[in-house]
A and B are shown apart, each in its own frame.
Chain A
């Protein structure tokens, strides 16, 4: 878009400016602006009900938005839809996982590649192998029904299924939700490793400590407004963040 492209500056994948979302008359997000670059992990932290899920649902097109939204250099107009954004490489791992409970792990992963298959790609088996390399636990359980997986495995499957789409922008909604600390660590280690594949990640979390550790840049969302923003190291040392989100002994 801009004439002067700084080679040191990776391209902007998502550029949202002044986004507002309302449920009927109730405004859930007010004037939110954020950027996500290629190969970057950006986190949005905030308490229950801050509007984090609303933000991600709006970005992927499940909810209508007001404001300016540019994805991969393309302004999103009235024809914006989940299906088109998925086709352009945006993928959401939803808070509720939304797995296909009565299908095997393998078939769930296959569904993640559905849109690529429809677009003519035939590399779903290789992609599945790569996903199994990232989450070896899923390989062991490839024939198991998704509905019978443990919470941690379910989150891995939800992420693996999203990766099957070879996303350019991965939206993660509270991957740590309801998981034990050890599994959370494992999941976040995986998120950090994904950065090397060049995918841009927008990570929404209540677990501010873990999120700020893995992210490059962070925003704080409070009841629909972005109250703070900055490189995650700075945020982790910000007294306001420490007091509200990191509690005692928070040291980035």
Chain B
């Protein structure tokens, strides 16, 4: 292999690896806090990319309808709960958050044609449409069964994943989308050309990772999530409810997923079901970190990206096989190390 090709492949691998690393961090976070193996993580990637593409194409993204429906369902459930507990004063707020806010967002999308808005605003709108789906899905699918075993929660995850892929097909159709690059800039270093988008992905991922680190180390809410991951009962006694921690971690995971999708949508064509494979590669990274260690998970994910890139050159037909076979030696190695993640 020539050096130039090797560098090109490496560049590709690291770019994808950065995205996998973000997803791996989100998976570790969700698992540590809620014990949920978040298979639908990839759907947020696809929804983020496809929502942005719809906005840019001047279409009303299907995620608006999803947001409205989930909001209505939660409003009904929460109002019933409030009525049962005789806390009628909560009901206006419940309706405001779950019905009025999504309606307002939908109204904004209809009133201003998003296709003509500047890119940062489009990205912001896409995030506002996709990120709330995270805590909403937690509320509807996971919160009622939060005390079940890891295996039962995994089954819930599979169901949510299948449902979301179906919804994706319904709303976005079977054809894929690719958004235009955020920047046309490119840099020449020696013989290789560095695409501006590649640099953007790397910088954005690095910034996001630093922001996550600061969130967990410096803010009281970040520490509360870590506390929940360490000791659920202890955290509850401090008033950090499982529900709060769950919603917070799902919000972060959804934001990370949607941002990842938005970042890679100019680099590759995203279909309604593309998220699964992308998420799975993040998952391989997370497994390398034992679903517990953030730095190892991120490093593992970058490794997955590189492996994928080089194997696509040597044996492109087998590139997925090679990546996922990586799991076997990793699992063997981990089981030999016997430092198990406690499943309670």
Contact = CB atoms under 8 A, between A and B. Distances in A.
Interface of A: 60, 62, 77-79, 81-83, 86-87, 91-92, 94, 98-103, 107, 110-115, 117-118, 124, 161, 165
Contacts of B233: 62, 94, 98
A142 to B, nearest CB: 15
A81 B25 CA distance: 32
A165 B238 contact: yes
A102 B223 CA distance: 11
B339 interface: no
Contacts of A103: 223, 226-227, 230
B85 A79 contact: yes
Contact of B237 (A60, A79, A113, A124): A60
A173 to B, nearest CB: 11
A118 B84 contact: no
Nearest to B87: A79
A94 B231 CA distance: 13
A114 B231 contact: no
Contacts of B84: 78-79
Interface of B: 84-87, 220, 223-224, 226-227, 230-231, 233-241
A100 B225 CA distance: 11
A147 to B, nearest CB: 9
Nearest to A161: B238
23 contacts: A79-B85, A81-B241, A82-B237, A82-B239, A83-B236, A86-B237, A92-B237, A94-B234, A94-B237, A98-B231, A98-B233, A100-B234, A101-B231, A102-B226, A102-B230, A103-B223, A103-B230, A111-B240, A114-B220, A115-B240, A117-B220, A118-B239, A165-B239
A92 B84 CA distance: 27
Contacts of A102: 226, 230
A77 B231 CA distance: 28
Contacts of B220: 110, 113-114, 117, 124
A79 B239 contact: no
B134 to A, nearest CB: 20
Contacts of B241: 81-83
A114 B238 contact: yes
In this complex, the member of B84, B87, B223 whose beta carbon has the largest number of chain A beta carbons within 10 angstroms is B223
Interface pairs A-B: 6 shortest CB-CB? A115-B239, A79-B85, A98-B234, A86-B239, A83-B241, A100-B230
Contact of A87 (B86, B230, B239): B239
A9 B227 CA distance: 40
A171 to B, nearest CB: 10
Contacts of A124: 220
A100 B237 contact: no
Given A62-B233, A114-B220, 8 more contacts: A78-B85, A86-B237, A94-B237, A98-B234, A100-B226, A103-B223, A107-B223, A161-B238
A86 B238 contact: yes
A98 B87 CA distance: 31
A115 B236 CA distance: 10
B219 to A, nearest CB: 10
Contacts of B223: 103, 107, 110-111
Contacts of A118: 239
Nearest to A86: B239
B231 A99 contact: yes
Contacts of A81: 241
A60 B237 CA distance: 8
Nearest to A112: B238
Given A100-B227, A101-B230, A103-B227, A77 B238 contact: no
Nearest to B226: A103
A165 B231 CA distance: 18
- Between A62, A111, A114, the greatest number of chain B beta carbons within 10 A of the residue's beta carbon is seen for A111
A124 B241 CA distance: 20
Given A83-B236, A83-B241, A100-B231, A111 B85 contact: no
A113 B240 CA distance: 10
Q: Which of A78, A114, A118 has the most CB of B within 10 A?
A: A114
B108 to A, nearest CB: 30
Contacts of B236: 62, 82-83
A111 B238 contact: yes
Nearest to B84: A78
